[in-house]
Chains A and B, each alone.
Chain A
């Protein structure tokens, strides 16, 4: 110990070791921070949110326009001109209506989207999701 106080070189070496060690730790922390920014991707998240909002708006107006649109429906051997909202209500009575609804790009399978009254209940109608979603 006495030798250590006297040993300047050793003291300098130890001090350098500590300084370098501190720098190494600091650099590692900074590297982790930047890599979390790059690979954790808030900017990617912003772009994804933007795409999701666009899709949400498009789907909303797609369904709304389909519910007002007139289309031909065969029932009882007669051709009827009805709108999409009526077609949704008729799915409760007739299986073919559901097939036609799917052909229009609409789906009743999820509890989201527009809702239409029928009896004492509501039927939810939304855009048919593509297979790969």
Chain B
């Protein structure tokens, strides 16, 4: 009986020891796992910083593309309007503008209409535009884009920010926008309108001509190269009529 009492105490001690071991082990395991995942989170931060800095390239690319797309759209609309400002001297027939002494295109007016069309575009309403290098380069300026982000882990906090100054230059001729070329088309048409074979006479590089004569002489110039505008991939057209 005395022996049994002593074993009870020892037995109780043994059970207590096992329980405490389990508790301590469980606490140790969960705290190690917790700190392991915290270390993993803080190790992910460099990847996020690299991704953030790559945003700058993507933003610049997007802005440049936006300007180029809108430029070609504005040029297409300028040509649809006959490359002229709206005024009483200029009349239309079947969507063809009638060119004569009172209404004929000039490079300056063409450039002005183009800028008007561009500035009227909501997509780029935050930009101001200017020409350089004899109207072959379009400068575009807008206010800064600021971006800031914070990445934090248990060991450090990272504040990353950038200010992107939006100043771009669009090479208009590379985009197919050439004001002097449009005036050349008009001058060639005037020069050749009375010739036997108008299409052969008007031999302009990069443009094709469809000519027909009814009461008026209808000139339909189409670019050989295709561009993206009006949700389509198509040639630019410059159509007009000569008396």
Contacts and interface: CB of A to CB of B under 8 A. Distances in A.
A11 interface: no
B25 A53 contact: no
B43 A24 contact: no
B39 interface: yes
Contacts of A3: 2
B232 interface: yes
B86 interface: no
A86 B233 CA distance: 10
Interface residues of B, number: 37
Interface SS majority for chain A: helix
Nearest to B54: A60
B11 interface: no
6 contacts: A21-B21, A33-B32, A49-B44, A60-B54, A93-B232, A120-B123
Interface in A41-74: 42, 45-46, 49, 52-53, 56-57, 60, 64, 67
Nearest to B5: A1
B46 A90 contact: no
A22 to B, nearest CB: 9
Contacts of A49: 43-44, 46-47
A102 interface: no
